[in-house]
Amino acid sequence: MTETKRPQTPAEAWAAMTAGNHRFVTGAPAHPRQDIDHREDLATGQRPFAALFGCADSRLSAEIIFDVGLGDLFVVRNAGQVIGETILGSLEYSVEVLGVPLILVLGHDECGAIRATINHTEGKQAAAGKFINVLVKQIEPTVLEANAQGKFEIDEVTELHVQDTIKEMLAQSKLISDAIAAGKLAVVGANYKLTLGEIHPIVTFGNIG
Ligand SMILES: [Zn+2]
């Protein structure tokens, strides 16, 4: 695989992500930058072109679904992509130190964490794990907000959760919201369709062209 130029702007980074996802969706992945030479080149330092904050779901394998390689994505994931201080610290690091021009927040169909939270709000069985309930408690306000808007389907809740996640990110991290205001960064919220492998944008902050 020949070397390609690292995307520098939010628009270039988004274009690279959508192009890579298109290759994955159509069954024509290039598997770029996964060779031994590239691995050795990277050993002296990383310069990823995007950060991804997504659900830990095993079907959301970041480098595979965006057809990228080693050193391309700074990936932060947990069940249900729930914001927390360590998540925000990792994302701020990707912006301030690594200079990524794009943060993609990625939810997906039939998310187990969101399903568990819906079950919890409906009084169905609760998860046994103490810390699973930490995640559920954090997603719960979004489920209640969705319900208040007459939205009960999991896909509707997931879409709102992606929006709320970014709202919270921007409210809590001045570094991230300042980078957007300065035109250095865009944050895109999207949903991943498990069957099709497609990324569907929901909301964008900043200019992705
Ligand atoms: Zn999930």
Q: Could you tell me the distance, in angstroms and rounded to a whole number, from the CA of residue 63 to the centre of ligand 1?
A: 17
The answer to whether the CB of 49 falls within 8 A of the CB of 69 is: no
Span from the CA of 190 to the centroid of ligand 1 (angstroms): 13
Residue 152 domain boundaries: 10-205
Cα(65) to centroid(ligand 1), Å: 15
- Ligand 1 centroid–CA 54 distance in Å is 8
CA of 98 to the centre of ligand 1 (A): 27
Question: Structurally, how many domains does the chain consist of?
Answer: 1
Per residue, the 3-state secondary structure of 18-54, as one string, reads HHHHHHHHCCCCCCCCCCHHHHHHHCCCCCCCEEEEE
Mean pLDDT for the chain overall: 95
pTM of the predicted model, to two decimals?
Answer: 0.96
Q: Is residue 176 part of a domain?
A: yes
Instruction: Give the model's pLDDT for residue 188.
Output: 98
Cα Rg of the chain (Å, integer): 17
Q: Is residue 1 part of a domain?
A: no
Tell me, in angstroms, the distance from the centre of ligand 1 to residue 44's CA: 34
pLDDT of residue 89: 98
Give distance in angstroms: CA of 183 to centre of ligand 1: 30
- Report the separation in Å between the CA atom of 88 and the middle of ligand 1, taken as the mean of its atom positions: 19
Is residue 4 situated within a structural domain?
A: no
Residue 31 lies in a domain: yes
In the predicted model, residues of the chain with pLDDT beneath 50 are 1-3
Residue 3 belongs to a domain? no
Cα(79) to centroid of ligand 1, in Å?
6
Which CATH number does the domain housing residue 29 bear? Answer: 3.40.1050.10
Question: Which residue in 165, 154, 169, 171 sits closest to 202, CA to CA?
Answer: 165
